[in-house]
Amino acid sequence: MQSQIEDARARLLLRELDCRQSMQASETIINHQQVVNFTSNDYLGLASDSCVIDRVSRELPVYGFGSGSAALLSGRSSLHEELEVRLAAFVGAESALLFSSGYMANLGAIQALTASKDMIFHDKLNHASLIDAVIASGAKHKRYPHCSIPKIPEMDKNTDGVTFLLSESVFSMDGDVADLDVLSKRVSSINGVFYIDDAHGFGVIGQGKGAGGIIEYRAKGSMIIGMVAFGKSLGSLGAAIVGPKEVINLLVQKARTFIYDTALPPVCCAAALAALDVIANKSELRNKLYANIEYFRFLAKASNVPVMNSETPIQPILIGDEFVALQVAEQLLVDGFYVKAIRFPTVPKGTARIRVTLTAAHSREHIALLCEKLKAVFER
């Protein structure tokens, strides 16, 4: 074990944990240092929103904290049920089922819905939870080049089982968006199932309402199953699978990470419900987020900072070399900006990067100062 750690250290791939002494927000305290935070997926700043905190404070004395056991064993709260109904309606699906995290939702749903005779096509840069789910499923599978469209003859070969296609909507480390429209038509033309991991799309993209990548493509006739994670734009914890009623019912029978996992604390559902209200009714936050994205890209490009091609809150700056990426992150921290270097195996070898995530809670001043520091670091 020690030699593995030393090996990771020697290859500049060792991970170390920071400790935060305050709320997770655009300004925070990390390792006792006041910093501007550009690492969070809380894209709309809802983790610390007063509506969310009020609702949680009201529900906590009613429901307590822990949920006691798995949902099938002890039942679950009316907040769980309310959230499932509200989420399904918001993304235009028939039904929803809550899981304790996005990781558990992907793992449980894909394992439960696929069998060894099925074929899964999945994007080469899909999240680790999707990769693990595919491997655990035992189904045949093929990774296709990132953001490409698998060809019909290849997809149509599997005559004895069902063909699935798995993709993120917004990719977590690149910030680019899959062509969900074309993918959905391709899957529908071979009568397959399209599984969209909308962890980073929900609340951010989707018909101008923030309803995510699932709603955009649901109506096009293909069978869509979606995963919404609550730890990003909803500022909470947990996740839901949304889809047709029969699918959700089957998950209750078969998804091991639902059946054998303690249900979410009810207040996590309360937080997500309050955040959902904000997302549905306050487009100002999304407008502010997009204005921040535009402002950051304008300043970064003007400063010759190599931002990748992304129109979403995830704005990676490609560096390549692990050592340089670490040095850039270290220098930014010295300057009071918390931005992480992302390295192998989270991203492919040779593509180490700085991952800037923008939120509606950042001010223009935060962004201008970050770009000033980035310019100085890159010039050096």
Ligand X SMILES: Cc1ncc(COP(=O)(O)O)c(C=O)c1O
Name the residues annotated as catalytic: 41, 127, 168, 172, 197, 200, 232
197 is a site residue for ligand X (CB under 6 A): yes
In the complex, the smallest distance separating the C-beta of residue 197 from ligand X, rounded to whole angstroms, is 5
49 or 197: whose CB is closer to ligand X? 197
Binder among 172, 222, 236, 346 for ligand X (CB under 6 A):
172
CA dist 356 and 9 (Å) reads 24
Nearest distance in Å: CB 209, ligand X = 21
Q: Give the nearest distance from C-beta 125 to ligand X in angstroms.
A: 10
Nearer residue to ligand X within complex by CB, 186 or 232? 232
233 binds ligand X (CB under 6 A): no
Q: How far apart are CA 115 and CA 118, in angstroms?
A: 5
Q: Which two tokens stand for residue 120?
A: 């899964």
- Per DSSP, what are the bridge partners of residue 239? 99, 229
Q: Based on CB atoms, which residue is closest to ligand X, 77 or 129?
A: 129
Binding to ligand X, residues 102-161 (CB under 6 A): 102-103, 106, 127, 129
Nearer to ligand X, 201 or 266 (CB): 201
Cβ nearer to ligand X, comparing 168 with 261: 168
Q: Which of 27, 21, 44, 20 shows the shortest CA–CA distance to 235?
A: 44
> Interface with ligand X includes 351 (CB under 6 A)?
no
Which of 101, 114, 222, 357 is in the footprint of ligand X by CB under 6 A? 101
Contacting ligand X within 9-48 (CB under 6 A): none
Strands 223-229 and 193-197: parallel
Residue placing its CB nearer to ligand X in the complex, 109 or 199: 199
Rank residues 112 and 374 by Cβ distance to ligand X and give the closer one: 112
SS3 157: coil
Least distance to ligand X, CB of residue 341, Å: 17
Q: How many residues of this chain bind ligand X (CB under 6 A)?
A: 14
Buried b (16+ CB within 10 A) or exposed e, 340-365: bbbbeebbeeebbbbbbbbbbbbeee
CA distance 43 to 45: 6
With CB under 6 A as the contact rule, the residue among 79, 139, 183, 239 that binds ligand X is: 239
Please answer whether residues 313 and 175 qualify as being in contact, where contact means their C-beta atoms are separated by less than 8 angstroms. Answer: yes
| Shortest separation between residue 256's beta carbon and ligand X, angstroms | 16
* C-beta separation of 33 from 21 below 8 A: no
Q: Which stretch binds ligand X (CB under 6 A): 29-37, 149-157, 158-166, 192-200?
A: 192-200
Q: Report whether 175 contacts 310 (CB < 8 A).
A: yes
Told to check if 203 binds ligand X by CB under 6 A, we report no
Among all residues, whose Cβ is closest to ligand X?
Answer: 102
Q: Of the candidates 183, 193, 199, 228, which one interacts with ligand X according to CB under 6 A?
A: 199
Q: Are 94 and 243 in contact (CB under 8 A)?
A: yes
Q: Alpha helices of the chain — where are they, by DSSP H?
A: 2-10, 50-63, 71-74, 78-91, 102-113, 128-137, 152-155, 180-189, 212-218, 245-254, 256-259, 266-281, 283-302, 322-334, 364-379
Whole-number Cα distances in Å, 296 to 192, 338, 340, 357: 39, 16, 17, 10
Closest to 204 (Cα-Cα) out of 298, 322, 288, 92: 288
Residues that bind ligand X (CB under 6 A): 101-103, 106, 127, 129, 168, 172, 197, 199-200, 229, 231, 239
